[in-house]
Chain A
């Protein structure tokens, strides 16, 4: 095992031979890590490699079973997240941790508000400090607005403002870009570079490998809870990094198969939902993967929800295989062969406490009923069949879905919908927060489905994914379709131009 070598200045925060177990699961085994001031350090590894546990150890949420956390070279014990924060460690978690009922200003300064006499909160100072932070970040959020209803990108901004507000010496970011689009990522990286130049140490986690190469100096790789390597990013290739993460060579990330598109399977005409999206028309043919790109909040997910019938539409028509759908009726959509894999798998795609078997079985409740009663045997064999076909990694099919890693959870959601044998499959951010190995598998699967004649509509904020997988790219901007690009014309530039409203429709 190679220990990270110290090059530049002495590390502000370090882990030395840290191990942590949860019950029988060894999440971290003798992991070491050094974060130096003025350095952006990447943490790479597949889902379940122990990255989150490592972060929570640095953040004072978990205490290591063995090994030490070193602050400025001396061992410390964080008794809670408050201790870590007081030591100047700011953490931006994957899921934003905001208080929906409180104002943005209160969210930023919770626990450390400016005080005036008698220990009372200085509301005006809080307000002004928030305005100053917003100006520094170049955004215009109202400090008094409640956090409820903020877009994920804006929530992320609040999280970053929180970290800025106490001049963090160490900034830890767990997949901060997962929900962001190009320009927002650029803005975030601007902030990160400024912090770095001011001497902060940054730990950065992302499943988008190109971002690691774009902004990080060093990368530490974990695999199955164990330390693999810590090395400078310069001179590495993406393939090198992937090999360290998965321990083997990876098949192509975008295994796109060429399929001649068949007849129109999904036809959307002039669909409008007031205040959300307007006049959206497009077709998806059998055997075709159509990418739907756009900035977060452009209305892509909302279109998908309306097409599937979760939300009503105010005007327009939707046909599946020539049959009209009714507004606001998911059961009709399902009966006509439409399937939707939602964006938020935890909240909308899965019942986390139910077993894998039951989750996959949910969409087949009608078909596995005999004489009005559930046929548990049929449900189990159907679920097993799909779990095996999608190579879901699990201990027992009766285990709760919550015990699986993110990538495998996503496979269960896919299995659940594929089990309905859909003609049209809508997938919303199918690989968000999924490690690179599983990502390639999901892509392979989507390619195979299209080859089998399924019409696939894929919503994604991951531009390389759209460009790599889609036959045609639709782009939305502020609730309208602004471009339809064939594969040959779709490039990062053309898509982003349409997504930001710079190109004529």
Chain B
């Protein structure tokens, strides 16, 4: 009794893969589409205002995006596991203040950055433990920690403020200096982004994040250490929020108890606009980074075109709905295409 039918040669290139190519194309197109929108937007702005793409203009564009890109990268890891971290804004604020306070006391800039990252790790650990052990929806848990961290921040900071003049010169210069138009913080964000994307694609633990977001029960049955992976995603997300806090301090030099307030919503928008599916299992950090770049660019584009910045929030909202609608339509199209294929070949 043989299993294979002998006359059925192993098929290598059959139309069976057309469904796959279609899916592949669609998901690659997603990142491409955001990039296209971004480029068109910048080109139109440049045509309307030739002052827009000067060296300083590009620098500002990148500087504005850097912090959001970092936090969105961390956030997408969490979202891929079918969770969310709403406390990133609070984490960013409190770690920026901690780093600032330490630097004001004459501390070493490198240690200050490490301090901010470690604080982020701590809060990420807290979130991760609550979500993975408590079996409580991440939305509620991190909404709780959002308020708790903000509350602690307010008590601790009070009416104090970190100002740029109190920070070491080197630190502030680092926040705005760089190679030609590319600022140092942007290079850091880029390095983090590329490394994260590489690990997600080429390491088992990275693929396991997708797996457990795609089907948590199956992940458990496949022997994936689900809790440990979720914990790791939160810690990573927290660490990047902390790092973003340090870069925020370097860039703006100005931190008070309200820093980073409401930031989580921008981050989540960037991630979703970038094509990371909110129900987990799908999306890429590059997409999230492009989403972040798109959202922050709108901030710069509107004033350059002479449109009131009052419109920014509304436009962000429209983009978000648009992104979700496109995702939904594409998902339906793909499902139909795959089904038709099954009907023909199955």
A residues with a Cβ closer than 8 A to B are 59, 61, 80-83, 85-86, 91, 93, 97-102, 106, 110-111, 113, 115, 119-121, 123, 131, 134-138, 140-142, 144-146, 148-151, 153-154, 187, 190-191, 193-194, 197, 275-276, 296-297, 299, 478-479
Contact = CB atoms under 8 A, between A and B. Distances in A.
A149 B218 contact: no
A100 to B, nearest CB: 6
30 contacts: A81-B220, A81-B221, A81-B222, A81-B223, A82-B223, A82-B225, A91-B221, A98-B215, A101-B214, A101-B282, A110-B208, A111-B222, A111-B223, A121-B203, A131-B10, A131-B12, A140-B14, A144-B24, A145-B16, A146-B23, A149-B19, A149-B338, A149-B339, A151-B342, A190-B1, A190-B3, A194-B2, A197-B1, A275-B340, A276-B343
A137 B3 contact: yes
Nearest to B344: A478
A432 B17 CA distance: 32
Given A81-B220, A110-B224, A135-B10, A142 B19 contact: yes
B108 interface: no
Nearest to A144: B20
Nearest to A274: B340
A194 B3 CA distance: 7
9 closest Cβ contacts across the A-B interface? A82-B223, A149-B338, A97-B218, A101-B281, A135-B10, A99-B214, A101-B214, A138-B4, A145-B20
A121 B204 contact: yes
A502 to B, nearest CB: 16
Interface in B287-346: 334-336, 338-340, 342-344, 346
Interface in B7-56: 8, 10-12, 14, 16-17, 19-20, 23-24
B80 to A, nearest CB: 9
B214 A100 contact: yes
Given A99-B219, A100-B214, A102-B211, A297 B342 contact: yes
A180 to B, nearest CB: 12
Given A98-B215, A111-B208, A148 B335 contact: yes
Contact of B8 (A80, A91, A98, A138): A138
B224 A478 contact: no
Contacts of B221: 59, 61, 81, 91, 93, 97
Interface in B154-207: 201-204, 207
Contacts of B338: 148-149
Nearest to B341: A149
B220 to A, nearest CB: 7
Given A110-B208, A135-B4, A149-B339, A140 B222 contact: no
B234 to A, nearest CB: 21
B218 A99 contact: yes
A187 B12 CA distance: 21
A153 B335 contact: no
B5 interface: yes
Contact of B202 (A120, A190, A299): A120
A247 B279 CA distance: 46
Contacts of A149: 19, 334-335, 338-339, 342
Contacts of A119: 203-204
Contacts of A197: 1
Nearest to A142: B17
B343 A275 contact: yes
Contact of A102 (B214, B343, B346): B214
A97 to B, nearest CB: 4
Given A138-B8, A145-B20, A148-B335, A299 B343 contact: yes
B96 to A, nearest CB: 34
A297 B208 CA distance: 31
B60 to A, nearest CB: 37
A448 B281 CA distance: 48
Given A119-B203, A137-B3, A140-B14, 12 more contacts: A91-B221, A99-B219, A100-B214, A101-B282, A102-B207, A141-B16, A142-B16, A190-B1, A197-B1, A275-B339, A478-B343, A478-B344
B40 to A, nearest CB: 30
Contacts of B214: 99-102
B210 interface: yes
Contacts of A150: 342
Contacts of B14: 140
A31 to B, nearest CB: 22
Nearest to A146: B23
Contacts of A138: 3-5, 8
A476 to B, nearest CB: 11
A151 B203 CA distance: 29
Contacts of A106: 207, 211
A59 B208 CA distance: 20
Contacts of B204: 111, 113, 115, 119, 121
A464 B37 CA distance: 59
A99 B215 contact: yes
A145 B17 contact: yes
A299 B8 CA distance: 26
B1 A194 contact: yes
Contacts of B201: 121
A96 to B, nearest CB: 8
A362 B105 CA distance: 68
Contacts of A83: 223
B210 A190 contact: no
B223 A85 contact: yes
Nearest to B216: A99
A391 to B, nearest CB: 32
Given A194-B1, A194-B2, A100 B222 contact: no
Chain B CB within 10 A, most for which of A59, A194, A275: A275
Contacts of B336: 275
Nearest to B337: A149
Contacts of A479: 343
A140 B11 contact: yes
Nearest to B346: A297
A392 to B, nearest CB: 27
B222 A110 contact: yes
A73 to B, nearest CB: 24
A100 B343 contact: no
Contacts of B1: 190, 193-194, 197
B215 to A, nearest CB: 5
B332 to A, nearest CB: 11
Contacts of B217: 97
B346 A151 contact: yes
Nearest to B215: A99
Interface string B113-152: 0000000000000000000000000000000000000000
